[in-house]
């Protein structure tokens, strides 16, 4: 499907606005070409006086004719300016509104995509589509469509006038048009793939820049500034070269069109002049033809810029629409969940999950009773965190079942499912706002007192109180003004404030010191009461008091039981415990 057809289908709610804007553009162009006709009539009046064209309207005096022309000219200019104002407002509003709709729909769609999509996609490229490509579409809608309408209408109307006045000159005026159109469309086909390549290279460059800014501390600590500068230089050169290739083609369009315009103008000038000298053509008509020939042919030189913007927009529309059409694998609709009545029983039956073709979880069978505290342990890559993400439906299971209070989570409303789970991940996300705003993220109606209580339970209140602005302290992008442990405690406070029936802590105390960990452990003893809690930790001391411990290895549960039982088994868990105890010694 043609990109603009895709955009037209998407923007069907704007069809009436587009029609109205097109009418304004057309009326503006009609009044815009009238002054050239009036110039010819003025020349006719001066030369022929009482025998001029206007005398047929009953205006015999040459001065009255000139006065009449002045009034008509003023009226035409007023109307031309008025409709320019109207079409400018209309097209720009359409462009801005459609830009807003596209960005919001695209961002909403991206948020519905599963986590695996982002693991396989370039973040910078997504940002490029959300910003650069949508802005390119907006720029074309601002001016491009109006230019196309006006060039087409201007050429059509002037061509009709030519045929009415002098058919032989009209035919001559059409001679260069096939060359102009051939050149424009020939180069258009050539330049399209070039601009798509430009957009892709821009996305790749944006991705590296974004990644490097986020990782500036690592870059500095490893003194790799020059390496990264050279890497950016290489990608920037790649982007520049792809632009150069497009520019070579787009720059060739205008000179070719100008030569064709010159040829047409010369034919009209010479042939029309000869006819006028031989008294076969009226001086006024010759004047009109000369002026209108410029209006007929010269706007076609704008086809180069129109074609250039058009092709840039085609590439952008395709990228935006392709992303918008990315299938959503995880369905949000389902049975509503009453959070107050949710007990928090979690059962996994023969659960399997594969990432691409690689099996990650195999035959997982777990029964977690309401209010129990369980722990998942195992080496890195054993499948613990993946199972947590399946509970939240960040991924869709390959087979088997995950039940909450007896309901398959694939049949539960996704919003309610995630509302019922408080999740603290290893990768802490903080917004560029105040400490209070970060703790209340997701619980936006919480009072300051509730925020403080959550902070106290997460052992955060003390360090927050020492800050100059307390809970109103701005923490910077990604919380960069805080230490790793402070960021983690804010994330725990956020989960506490959410007050969910199920709490998941994935290495939630990995970035805190031993003293803070002990303090958080005491808080968690109060926090876990009455709610199902799942802990993932490499430090076994963190989870030794859990009701059940499940030991993972290569995507399977190899052992389960409480701490004492597992230590007595002398299996995987016992070995891990011995290693950690030895480290402490």
Domain boundaries, the chain: 14-324, 343-420+501-585, 431-499
Tell me: pLDDT of 585 over 50.
no
Confidence grade of residue 306 (pLDDT, cut at 50, 70, 90): confident
Select 14-324's CATH number: 3.40.50.300, 1.20.1560.10, 3.40.50.11740, 3.40.50.2300. 1.20.1560.10
Q: What is the pLDDT of residue 352?
A: 92
- Label residues 141-166 b or e (16+ Cβ within 10 Å = b): bbbbbbbbbbbebbbebbbebbeebb
Confidence grade of residue 584 (pLDDT, cut at 50, 70, 90): very low
- Element of type H or E holding 404: strand 399-404
Among residues 70, 33, 76, 74, the alpha carbon closest in space to that of 54 is found at: 70
**For 414-443, how does the pLDDT look when each residue is reduced to its tens digit (9 = 90+)?**
888 888 888 888 778 888 889 999 899 888
Q: What is the pLDDT of residue 112?
A: 84
**For 168-227, how does the pLDDT look when each residue is reduced to its tens digit (9 = 90+)?**
776 776 677 676 666 666 666 676 677 778 877 877 787 787 777 767 766 776 678 888
Q: What is the pLDDT of residue 238?
A: 87
Burial of 437 (0-12, 13-18, 19+ CB in 10 A): middle
Average pLDDT, the chain: 81
Q: Which CATH superfamily is domain 343-420+501-585 in?
A: P-loop containing nucleotide triphosphate hydrolases (3.40.50.300)
Strand 358-368 relative to strand 421-424: parallel, antiparallel, unpaired? unpaired
- Sheet order of strands, 532-536 included: 421-424, 502-506, 532-536, 373-378, 548-553, 556-561
Q: Is residue 386 a contact partner of residue 360, using CB atoms and an 8 Å limit? A: yes
Q: What is the pLDDT of residue 85?
A: 93
- Sheet order of strands, 346-355 included: 358-368, 346-355, 399-404, 407-408
CATH 3.40.50.300 assigned to 431-499: yes
Residues facing 377 on adjacent strands: 551
**For 183-200, how does the pLDDT look when each residue is reduced to its tens digit (9 = 90+)?**
666 666 676 677 778 877
CA dihedral over 152, 158, 164, 169, signed as positive or negative: negative
Tell me: pLDDT of 93 over 80.
yes
Distances (CA, A) of 19 to 22, 24, 31, 145: 5, 9, 19, 12
pTM of the complete model beyond 0.85: no
Helices (H), 278-331: 283-297, 303-324
Distance CA 26, CA 246 (A): 32
Q: Answer with the residue of higher pLDDT: 203 or 389.
A: 389
Q: What is the pLDDT of residue 51?
A: 67
Domains 343-420+501-585 and 431-499 share a fold: yes
Q: What is the pLDDT of residue 418?
A: 87
Mean pLDDT of 327-342: 79
Q: What is the pLDDT of residue 478?
A: 74
Measured in residues, the chain has a length of 585
């Amino acid at each position: 499907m043609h990109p603009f057809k895709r955009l037209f289908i998407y923007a069907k709610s704007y069809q009436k606005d587009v029609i109205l804007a097109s009418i304004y553009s057309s009326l503006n162009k009609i009044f815009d070409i009238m002054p050239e006709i009036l110039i010819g009539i003025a020349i006719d009046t001066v030369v022929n006086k009482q025998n001029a064209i206007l005398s047929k309207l009953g205006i015999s005096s040459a001065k009255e004719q000139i006065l009449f022309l002045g009034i008509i000219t003023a009226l035409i200019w007023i109307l031309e300016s008025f409709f320019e104002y109207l079409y400018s407002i209309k097209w720009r509003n359409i462009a801005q509104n459609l830009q807003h709709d596209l960005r919001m729909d695209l961002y909403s769609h991206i948020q519905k995509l599963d986590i695996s999509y982002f693991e396989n996609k370039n973040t910078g490229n997504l940002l490029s589509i959300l910003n650069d490509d949508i802005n390119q579409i907006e720029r074309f809608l601002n001016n491009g469509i109006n230019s196309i309408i006006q060039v087409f209408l201007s050429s059509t109307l002037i061509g009709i006038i030519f045929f009415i006045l002098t058919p032989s000159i009209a035919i001559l005026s059409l001679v260069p048009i096939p060359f102009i159109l051939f050149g424009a469309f020939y180069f258009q086909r050539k330049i399209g793939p070039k601009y798509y390549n430009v957009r892709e290279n821009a996305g790749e460059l944006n991705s590296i820049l974004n990644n490097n800014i986020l990782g500036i501390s690592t870059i500095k600590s490893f003194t790799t500034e020059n390496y990264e500068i050279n890497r950016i230089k290489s990608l920037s050169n790649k982007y520049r070269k792809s632009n150069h290739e497009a520019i070579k083609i787009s720059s060739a369009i205008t000179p070719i069109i100008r030569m064709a315009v010159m040829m047409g103008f010369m034919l009209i000038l010479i042939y029309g002049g000869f006819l006028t000298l031989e008294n076969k053509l009226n001086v006024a008509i010759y004047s009109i033809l000369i002026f209108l020939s410029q209006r007929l042919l010269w706007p076609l030189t704008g086809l180069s810029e129109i074609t250039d913007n058009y092709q840039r927009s085609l590439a952008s529309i395709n990228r935006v629409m392709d992303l918008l059409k990315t299938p959503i694998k995880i369905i949000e609709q389902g049975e509503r969940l009453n959070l107050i009545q949710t007990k928090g029983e979690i059962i996994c039956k023969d659960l399997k999950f594969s990432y691409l073709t690689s099996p990650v979880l195999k035959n997982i069978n777990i029964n977690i009773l309401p209010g129990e505290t369980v722990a998942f342990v195992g080496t890195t890559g054993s499948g613990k965190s993946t199972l947590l993400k399946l509970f939240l439906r960040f991924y869709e299971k390959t087979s088997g079942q995950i039940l909450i209070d007896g309901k398959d989570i694939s049949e539960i409303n996704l919003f309610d499912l995630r509302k019922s789970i408080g999740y603290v991940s290893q990768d802490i996300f903080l917004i560029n706002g105040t400490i209070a705003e970060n703790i209340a993220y997701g619980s936006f109606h919480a009072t300051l007192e509730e925020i403080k209580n959550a902070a106290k339970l997460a052992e955060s209140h003390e360090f927050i109180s020492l800050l100059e602005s307390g809970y109103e302290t701005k923490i910077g992008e990604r919380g960069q003004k805080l230490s790793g442990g402070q960021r983690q405690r804010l994330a725990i406070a956020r989960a506490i404030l959410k007050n969910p029936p199920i709490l998941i802590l994935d290495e939630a105390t990995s970035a805190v010191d031993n003293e803070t960990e002990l303090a958080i452990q005491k808080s968690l003893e109060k926090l876990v009461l009455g709610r199902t809690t799942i802990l993932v930790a490499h430090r076994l001391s963190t989870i030794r008091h859990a009701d059940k411990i499940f030991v993972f290895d290569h995507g399977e549960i190899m052992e389960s039981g409480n701490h004492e039982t597992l230590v007595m088994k002398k299996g995987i868990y016992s070995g891990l415990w011995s290693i950690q105890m030895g480290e402490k010694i």
